[in-house]
Structure 1
Amino acid sequence: MKVAVVGAGAIGAYVGAALCRAGVEVHLLARGPHLAALRAHGVRVLSPRGDFAAHPHATDDPAEIGPVDHVLLGVKANAYAAAGPLVTPLLHERTTLIAAQNGIPWWYFHRLAGPYEGTRLESVDPGGAVTAALPLERAVGCVVYAATEISAPGVVQHLEGTRFSIGEPAGGVSPRCTEFADAMVAGGLKCPVEPDLRDDIWIKLMGNIAFNPLSALTRATMAGICRHPGTRTLVATMMEETLEVAARVGAKPEISVQKRLAGAERTGEHKTSTLQDLERGRPMELDVLLAAVVEIADLTGAEVPTLRVVSALADLLNQEIAAA
């Protein structure tokens, strides 16, 4: 099996190293000092579960890699529309695109039975640019429950979690998902193939939709947001509105708001990826986390007044970052 990781950052390099350890032919697409370190020394993973190193091929040119069986997309979702030149050289007739992203994916309504099947969300797939770059029939979803960070070029600090749930847009368990999942497990990761991944998407999104924008607006950690009575109540309200939107499109995430809050609080003084992007002056990945859910609310008639207010504030902040 041959796998390419497009965007071999903290998550991508971690998965690539695990697959390499399982004997998979792995190719990492990266750039800058991180790429130089990957070429010179491979990937070093520092983890409470045990440190290890792997030496996959690393490059900034997908033409060096050629067609592969699976492409893991490790870039942020707001970079998907421009990913075509990186992905196209990696494709053969059966190549799978495994999207390890937060939020609502561009494929969400693809083959979703019901009145919204085939709907394209402008906030997620503006003008159809993502679908043009990443064909829907190749898509496999991936919900990431691992926390990692790049502690130095070529060095991944694994903080917690090893679960990468995957699933087909049409549901069920496919041979291509099973093949990839078996390799992930052989590399020491958890990779359940979910018959309906959309429920997992909403469970994770319940946290992302609230904590990510609020952390950027307040500069607070997840535990700090939970400790403050006002923001804790705000998070709960945002989660409740999110569950209402999920129900309108047929999803049934089996988790309570209080359980989701407790899980976030246990994370401790953790800065969300959105806050980290803000501190580095990078665009925040909020369209797929927040604007998309507001767009689905418009589509389904759900009332989401709190999500609308936070979305407007976060969008203005993102515009200020872009203009700086």
Structure 2
Amino acid sequence: MKVAVVGAGAIGAYVGAALHRAGAQVHLIARGAHLAALREHGVQVLSPRGDFTAHPRATDDPHEIGPVDYVFLGLKANAYAASGPLVHPLLHERTALIAAQNGIPWWYFHGLPGEHTGRRLESVDPGGAVSATLPPERAIGCVVYAATEVAAPGVIRHLEGTRFSIGEPDGTLSPRCLEFSRAMVAGGLKCPVEQDLRNDIWIKLLGNISFNPISALARATMAEICGHPDARELVAAMMRETLEVAARLGSRPEISVERRLAGAERVGHHKTSTLQDLERGRPLELDVLLAAVVELADLTGTPVPTLRTIHAVADLLNRTTSAGPA
């Protein structure tokens, strides 16, 4: 099994190291000091489950790799539309794209029966640019429950969680999903194949859609948000509105708002990825988290006043700071 990891950062390099340990032929695509460290020392994983080092091949040129069986996308979703030069040299006619992204994926309505089947969401696939680069029929969904960080170039610190839920957009238990799952498990990770991955998407989104923008607006950690009564209620309101949108689209994830809040509170003084992006001067990943759900609310006629308000001020923040477009 030949795998290329496009965007071999915290999650991508961690997955690549696990697959390499399982015997897959793995190629990491990275750049700069991180790439140099990967070439010289391999991927060094620091984990409460045991440290290890893997030595997959690393490059910044996908043409050196050629076509592969699976492309694991470790990029932020807002980089998908421009990822063609990195992805296209890796494709043969059956190559699968495993998109480890937060939020609503560009393939959400692909293979989904009902009145919206095949619909494109402008917020996550503007003008069809993402679908043109990453054809939905190649997509395997992936919801990441692991937390990792780049401790130093070539060094990945695994903080918690090993679950990567995957699934076909049409809900089938495909041979390609089962093969990839087996390789992930052999590498020491959990990788259940879900027949309805959209429920997992909504469960993960409940936290991302609320804590991520609020953390950036308030420069606050998860624990600080949960410990502030009014902020906690704001998060709960956003979660309730999100669950209503999901329900009107036929998804009813089996988790309560209070249980989701309690899980976030246990994370402690953790900075969300959106707050980290703000601090590093990077664009905020808001479209797939907030804008997409507001668009889905319009599609389904769902009132989401809290989500609209937070989206407006978070989008303004993105546009008026160094993280936003010039």
Q: Which category describes the TM-score, using the shorter chain as reference length? A: over 0.9
1:37 maps to a residue whose letter is A
Question: Does the aligned pair in 1 maintain the 2:99–2:141 contact within 8 Å?
Answer: yes
Tell whether 2:297 aligns with 1:297.
yes
Give the deviation of 1:162 after TM superposition: 0.2
Change over 3 Å in CA distance of 1:220–1:63 after alignment to 2: same
Tell whether 2:42 aligns with 1:42.
yes
1:185 corresponds in structure 2 to 185
Question: Does the aligned pair in 1 maintain the 2:220–2:271 contact within 8 Å?
Answer: yes
CA distance in 2, matches of 1:254, 1:56: 38
What does residue range 65-144 of structure 1 map to in structure 2 within 5 Å? 65-144=65-144
Question: Which consecutive unaligned segments of at least 5 residues does structure 1 have?
Answer: none
Q: Secondary structure at the match of 1:5?
A: strand
1:222 corresponds in structure 2 to 222
1:24 maps to a residue whose letter is A
1:207 corresponds in structure 2 to 207
2:52 corresponds in structure 1 to 52
Q: Secondary structure at the match of 1:97?
A: strand
CA distance in 2, matches of 1:248, 1:120: 17
CA distance in 1, matches of 2:39, 2:212: 33
- TM-score of the aligned structures, taking structure 2 as reference length: 0.99
CA distance in 2, matches of 1:242, 1:323: 27
Q: Secondary structure at the match of 1:319?
A: helix
1:52 maps to a residue whose letter is F
Tell whether 2:259 aligns with 1:259.
yes
Residue by residue over 1:195-223, the C-alpha shift from the partner in whole angstroms, topping out at 9 and shown as x without a partner, is 10000000000000000000000000001
Question: Does the aligned pair in 1 maintain the 2:245–2:293 contact within 8 Å?
Answer: yes
CA distance in 2, matches of 1:282, 1:84: 21
CA distance in 1, matches of 2:181, 2:45: 20
2:135 maps to a residue whose letter is P
The number of residue pairs the alignment matches comes to: 324
2:279 corresponds in structure 1 to 279
Tell whether 2:248 aligns with 1:248.
yes
CA distance in 2, matches of 1:323, 1:50: 41
2:319 maps to a residue whose letter is Q
Identity, in percent, stands at: 79
Question: Does the aligned pair in 1 maintain the 2:96–2:138 contact within 8 Å?
Answer: yes
2:2 corresponds in structure 1 to 2
Residue by residue over 1:96-148, the C-alpha shift from the partner in whole angstroms, topping out at 9 and shown as x without a partner, is 00000000000000011111111111110000000000011100000000000
1:61 corresponds in structure 2 to 61
2:314 corresponds in structure 1 to 314
Give the deviation of 1:272 after TM superposition: 0.3
Question: Which consecutive unaligned segments of at least 5 residues does structure 2 have?
Answer: none
2:268 maps to a residue whose letter is G
Give the deviation of 1:85 after TM superposition: 1.0
Q: Secondary structure at the match of 1:36?
A: helix
CA distance in 1, matches of 2:99, 2:299: 24
Q: Secondary structure at the match of 2:80?
A: helix
CA distance in 2, matches of 1:244, 1:159: 32
Change over 3 Å in CA distance of 1:66–1:323 after alignment to 2: closer
Q: Secondary structure at the match of 1:252?
A: coil
Residue by residue over 1:16-46, the C-alpha shift from the partner in whole angstroms, topping out at 9 and shown as x without a partner, is 0000000100000001100010011110000
1:114 maps to a residue whose letter is G
Give the deviation of 1:320 after TM superposition: 1.5
CA distance in 1, matches of 2:325, 2:183: 43
Q: Secondary structure at the match of 1:299?
A: helix
CA distance in 2, matches of 1:62, 1:307: 39
- TM-score of the aligned structures, taking structure 1 as reference length: 0.99
Q: Secondary structure at the match of 2:81?
A: helix
CA distance in 2, matches of 1:109, 1:248: 14
Moved beyond 3 Å, runs of 4+: none
CA RMSD between the two structures? 0.6
CA distance in 1, matches of 2:132, 2:325: 28
Give the deviation of 1:172 after TM superposition: 2.3
Give the deviation of 1:288 after TM superposition: 0.1
1:42 maps to a residue whose letter is G
CA distance in 1, matches of 2:219, 2:168: 36
Give the deviation of 1:323 after TM superposition: 4.9
